[in-house]
Structure 1
Amino acid sequence: MYETIQSLHSYWAFLVLFILIIATVNAIYKSATGKEYKATDFRLSLFTLIVSHIQLLMGLLLYFVSPRLQLFGEIGMGAIMKDPVSRLYLVEHPLVNIIAIALITIGYSKHKKKLTSSAKLKKIAIFYTLGLVLLLSRIPWSTWLS
């Protein structure tokens, strides 16, 4: 079960990054050029929100069925924090990615309350970019791409 969830989580991450990059670049471009916010922009930002939340749910499930989780009881938090690999998988990756998804959610929620195109696109651009940067910063690249 663990390997299946891990594989789904890894492959779904490609979709999340792809859609998030498209939504972010779209919002930045339209915001910078003064283009109008359209229904396709709403759908793109909503789809990004949905796929990122699915990724979060898979990640949380993966976290709690992970054999690494037993390290908390076996070696303790101090030893986990001293080991870069354990710290990445048990602390940094989950925490930072939860924050990233929260920022994406906040950006989506805030953009809906704005009345003008520029304000809507600006909120999406800011919060989705912050979420993207955080996601990219905590991906375990060495294991993910191998």
Structure 2
Amino acid sequence: MYDSVLGLHSYWAYATLGLLLIATLNAFGGLSSKRVFTPKDRQISMIALIFSHIQLLLGFVLYFVSPYFETAKQAGMGAVMKDSTLRLYLVEHPLINIIAIALITIGWSKHKKTEDNQAKFKKIGYMYAIALVLLLSRIPWSAWFN
């Protein structure tokens, strides 16, 4: 089960990051061109939101079926914090990614509460961009490209 969920989590991450990048660029493009926020803009942002939430759910499943989780249960959190690999997979990656998904959700929620087109683009653009940077900062790159 672990390998299946890991593979799905990894491949879904490519789609999620791509869609977040598209949604962010779309928002900043709309902001710079001062265009009207259209249903297409809403749809792009919503698809990125949905993909990121599915990625989070896959991450939760992966976290609890991971051999790293079993190691943490046996060794304790003190040992996890001393080992950089365990700390990345069990603390840093999940925590930062939960924060990033929360920012995406906040950006989406705030855009719905405003009527101004530029404010909609701004709220989505900045929150999605910060989330994208956070997500990229905690990807275990060495394991991802193997």
**Within-5 A mapping of 1:67-78:** 67-78=67-78
Report the alpha carbon displacement of residue 73 of structure 1 after superposing the two structures with TM.
Answer: 2.5
Instruction: Give the distance between the partners of 1:71 and 1:55, measured in 2 at CA.
Output: 23
Separation of aligned partners in 1, 2:79 and 2:26 = 43
**In angstroms, what is the RMSD of aligned CA positions?**
0.8
1:94 maps onto 2:89 in alignment:
no
For residues 72-119 of structure 1, what are the alpha-carbon distances to aligned partners after superposition, in whole Å with 9 as ceiling and x for unaligned?
Answer: 232221211111110000000011001100100010000011101101
Percent identity among equivalent residues? Answer: 56
d(CA) in 2 for partners of 1:29 and 1:145?
Answer: 31
Superposed counterparts of 1:5-24, under 5 Å: 5-24=5-24
Task: Name the counterpart of 1:106.
Answer: 106
Q: Distance in 2 between matches of 1:122 and 1:37?
A: 11
TM-score by length of 2: 0.97
CA distance in 1, matches of 2:26, 2:82: 40
- Which runs of no fewer than 5 residues in structure 2 stay unpaired? none
Q: Structure 2 counterpart of 1:35, which letter? A: R
| Cα distance in 1 for residues equivalent to 2:73 and 2:101 | 28
Instruction: Write out aligned runs for 1:35-46 (5 A).
Output: 35-46=35-46
2: CA distance, partners of 1:139 / 1:73: 23
Aligned to 1:60: 60
1:45 is paired with a residue whose SS is helix
AA matched with 1:110? K
Rounded Cα–Cα distance in structure 2 between residues aligned with 1:31 and 1:18: 20
Amino acid at match of 2:104: I
- CA apart distance, 1:34: 1.2
Distance 1:48 1:41 in 2: 11
Structure 1 unmatched ranges of 5 or more: none
- Residue 81 in 1 paired to residue 98 in 2? no
